[in-house]
Amino acid sequence: MQSKSKQTAFLTQPVVVGLLAMLCCMLWGSAFPCVKIGYRLFGIAGDHTPSLLLFAGLRFTLAGLLALCIGSIGARRWLIPKPTSWSMILKLGLVQTVTQYIFFYIGVAHASGVKSSIIVSANVFFSILISAIVLRQERMTAAKLLGCVAGFAGVVLINTRGGALDFSMQWNGEGFVLISSLAYAISSVMVKQYAKRESPVTLSGYQFVWGGLVLIAVGLIGGGRIYPTSPAAFLLLGYLGMLSAVAYSLWAVLLQHNPVSRVSIYGFMNPVCGVFLSALLLGEQGVFGPAAGIALVLVCVGIFLVNRSVSQTES
């Protein structure tokens, strides 16, 4: 019991939360360019949704197996869910992996990358609103709301540096991306609830395996195919699986020990990291400039305001 309280005390320190959450964001941010590279290495057309779902299914099934292996090594035993946890795993996998990514990949195929990045960041708003207003896990404050607005403004700014934003919307494009963001937000709150009864690593691992297998089945039934062009394709798939295993498991552990808003607000860094890493790995131009600096400041201000509000509420 004492070691558990020490673990909680460690994982609730703002500096620790910030460092671990930023590590997750860096990993997720690297997924944006790496997935694009993966499409090329596996011979996948960017608009062929069944093949995209097949690729995603392989990635997340591998992520689940890796998470379970890493967690089992740490626990010195194979992680097996409690009998009462299987329903939680099935529901979490359905929301976090199956629903989120089916709607995401279909939506992105019919929406611009700029609008998709901005809409995806709305999951931070959804997570905090669901936690505070629907489930009443924490209080909604003006500072939290202002922090969300500042962070969202930063995401909009860094994604519209080329002026590529308009307000048109397709139900199977931006609408599907919005549903994907809502599914992710709901899954974050579910993890917070479920982690009281089951290890977050066990939850992440098994929900990834089952959700990934569903995506593989949907992709194959829809005619999805992948054609690895070199050994580098398998190395990249391994990296994508590892980053998902590490990032989602760490994120789940942070949600277990902290208010949803303290952790979720860092989600605004995901598209920011994605933009910078895309510039480095894909050679995309026009990223490093005054707008990017201002965007980063706005996201940091948002994170500071939400964390300050959480600290004041807890004290």
Q: Enter the tokens of residue 46.
A: 């960017």
Q: Cα–Cα distance between 290 and 118 in angstroms, integer?
A: 19
Q: Enter the tokens of residue 30.
A: 């690297």
Domains of the chain, by residue range, sit at 2-314
**pLDDT over 50 at 1, yes or no:** no
Least confident span in 187-191, 193-197, 235-239, 302-306: 302-306
How confident is the prediction for the chain on average, in pLDDT?
85
The answer to whether 39 touches 284, Cβ cutoff 8 Å, is no
Write the burial class of residue 193 (CB in 10 Å: 0-12 exposed, 13-18 middle, 19+ buried).
Answer: middle
Write the pLDDT tens digit of every residue in 24-64.
999 988 887 888 888 889 998 877 889 999 999 999 999 99
What's 135's DSSP letter?
S
Q: pTM score, two decimals?
A: 0.84
The answer to whether 301 touches 152, Cβ cutoff 8 Å, is no
Write the pLDDT tens digit of every residue in 191-234.
989 998 999 999 999 999 999 999 999 999 999 999 998 999 99
Highest mean pLDDT among 149-153, 228-232, 283-287: 228-232
> Smallest Cα–Cα separation from 278: which of 286, 289, 267?
286
Write down the pLDDT at residue 2. Answer: 47
